[in-house]
Structure 1
Amino acid sequence: MELHDVWFVLIAVLWIGYFFLEGFDFGIGILTKLLARDRTERRVLINTIGPVWDGNEVWLLTAGGATFAAFPEWYATMFSGFYLPLLIILVCLIVRGVAFEYRSKRPEEKWQTNWEHAIFWTSLIPALLWGVAFGNIVRGVKIDKDFEYVGNFWDLLNPYAILGGLVTLTLFTFHGAVFASLKTLGDIRARARKLALTLGLVTAVLALVFLVWTQTDKGDSGSLIAMIVAVVALFGAIGAIKVGREGWSFAFSGITIAAAFAMLFLTMFPNVMPSSLNAEWSLTVSNASSSPYTLKIMTWLAAIATPLVLLYQSWTYWVFRKRIGTKHIADAAH
């Protein structure tokens, strides 16, 4: 295996890590409207991710930076071709972070309600658009012989990509509901489990259609194994939440996300961005990569830094591992 193959795998791992962690972040943001009944319960949900949401977003920065350094052609084509949807995602992530920080700065009900609306929409929109973006990458987009995207925004809104967006939206919301049941106490925990069961069944239907479509169109034996793992893990998560085993359900829902996105990357390889106009114009791990020397330096840096980051983030989750409920929320509005 050459270094550009190694870095394709590493970038896939970074994206999978991002969606595993940010997935339940997005889910919690969406559940502030679907699950919480009042402002106190919304504070409970927000507090479940309060210590970790910003650390989870670092995975996106790392994935984007690694793509830029290891595969500059891939980065340039993807970020120019998907400029509008990625800009919308970026704006949502900025507003979402501001909303988390500013919501509690003033006691007025209108002030807090407006920021709560912002948290909901800036969680829902990226959860949808990430699926649309990756659906298009797997399906193939209009790339010419100069490796430039020559399509338009409306070309990205095809049935396959839209279905991919609905899958990520429901899957992340289900992941968030399982996380809420794992991290909360009392009535909100019981309602989170009940909602997670419903969301899991909806996700299963959409995911089965999307994964089978992907496997039929692009798959091989490796992607078939990943698809089977994803489907089995999803039903395992649904079964575990049904019997009240939130920890197992969260683990299984995380495996579902990891296996599903692993399947997408497996169907792409050795392409990193297939061309729908001509297969010879596709970006691959070889024609889109940086020089071997650059990849070598990056490999050494990643080998040193990655374990330290994983240890630190694991420690953060351990410190904030306890459940919270409405009894832990102060009565004061401010």
Structure 2
Amino acid sequence: MILETIWFLLWGLLWAIYFMLDGFDLGMGTLLPFIAKNETERRTIYNAAGPFWDGNEVWLITAGGVTFAAFPAAYAVLFSGMYAAMFLLLFALILRGVSFEFRSKVDSQAWRRVWDVCHFVGSFAPALLLGVAFANIFRGIPIDAQGVNQEGLLQLLNPYGLLGGVVFVVLFVQHGAIWLAIKSQGSLHDRARATAIKTWPIAVLGTVLFLAYTAVDTMLFNNYLENPLLLAIPAGTVVALVGIRPALGAGQMVRAWVGSAAFIVGVTMFGVVGLFPALLPSSLNPGWSMTIYNSASSPLTLKIMLGVALVMVPVVIGYQFWVYRNFSHKITDEHLDYEEAY
């Protein structure tokens, strides 16, 4: 039971780290057509994400790999039951990755415009789909006794799922706007900061609506009511959200980004802890839910994986720390003139 619980919390934390890191470049990509006014500003947005986006997606691969290795039964139900949604997510992420590399290959405005559209779609769609998917997991999936999902893609687009998707998009847009303000200068910096300020009350409203809907339509609050100490998680999440606004007003963009990152992690962990011990709760019958007990790999497998994780995860964190430190500068014309720039 202890190993299963450890891996459940690690599973949730890996997803939270992915949302925290890839969220800002998905947010910038979603903002691209609306905030960039010329080619220099568009290239600034690409290069603000360029050194980081592929490293950020390592956490998505890791989270998916942990789901497969630690909880293979839940992985089978999740990826078969949401196959269409997962395929759309994968296609969108591939489209976004290709847009980074192909956009500058032909000196043509029309060519660049096509890849800008692909970049936008490949950023907006994953944010929306991830929000819809996790909201449906929080709500419960119609899994029968054989572990078969009785609904398809269209049924995922229920009001609660769509609200979750919209909230994810808003949080990522705010996160991306703050990061862009950190990395840019001049009028683009000013517009990015203004966008983050305008997005903040929408994020607050979306969070309040989502929590209210969650209390009515899901069982997530049960664990918190049974153990009030767990309320520290949503309380800390609210503190992080409230702290973003004064940091934005003071122009302290790094502090605002840290607050936004903490908020995204808090929202994710709120849902994960609320699910425990279920990974995929069944809306048809709680007894048919995929839990950490009926989905986990053998204790030996979990022990070996834990040993590997304790060695490799710090290596990945160290590498990413090095990347973020070395590319912490603002994007200037000199950086855009660099041969390897996007």
TM range (shorter): over 0.9
Give the superposition deviation at 1:328. Answer: 4.2
Percent identical among aligned pairs is 42
What per-residue deviation string (whole Å, max 9, x for no partner) do you get for residues 161-215 of structure 1? 1100000000000000000111111111111111110011111111111123324
State the partner residue of 2:302. Answer: 295
State the partner residue of 1:9. Answer: 9
Residues 117-196 of structure 1: pairs in structure 2 closer than 5 A: 117-196=117-196
Letter in 1 for 2:166: L
Change (3 A) 1:175 1:303: same
* Partner Cα separation in structure 2 for residue 234 and residue 178 of structure 1: 13
Tell me if the contact between 1:26 and 1:123 (Cα under 8 Å) persists in the aligned partners: yes
> Which of 243-252 and 213-222 deviates more?
213-222
Structure 2 unaligned runs (5+)? none
Give the superposition deviation at 1:224. Answer: 3.5
State the partner residue of 2:319. Answer: 312
* Partner Cα separation in structure 1 for residue 311 and residue 300 of structure 2: 17
Normalising by structure 1, we get a TM-score of 0.96
* Partner Cα separation in structure 2 for residue 192 and residue 325 of structure 1: 16
State the partner residue of 1:199. Answer: 199
State the partner residue of 1:211. Answer: 211
Give the superposition deviation at 1:303. Answer: 0.8
Tell me if the contact between 1:174 and 1:200 (Cα under 8 Å) persists in the aligned partners: yes
Tell me if the contact between 1:208 and 1:231 (Cα under 8 Å) persists in the aligned partners: no
Residues 41-120 of structure 1: pairs in structure 2 closer than 5 A: 41-120=41-120
> Which of 317-326 and 58-67 deviates more?
317-326
* Partner Cα separation in structure 2 for residue 211 and residue 9 of structure 1: 21
3-state DSSP of counterpart to 2:279 = strand
Tell me if the contact between 1:24 and 1:173 (Cα under 8 Å) persists in the aligned partners: yes
Normalising by structure 2, we get a TM-score of 0.94
Tell me if the contact between 1:240 and 1:246 (Cα under 8 Å) persists in the aligned partners: yes
State the partner residue of 1:324. Answer: 331
Give the superposition deviation at 1:330. Answer: 3.5
Letter in 1 for 2:294: N
What per-residue deviation string (whole Å, max 9, x for no partner) do you get for residues 243-293 of structure 1? 101011000000000000000101100000000000110111000100111
Change (3 A) 1:319 1:201: same
3-state DSSP of counterpart to 2:315 = helix
Structure 1 unaligned runs (5+)? none
Change (3 A) 1:222 1:115: farther
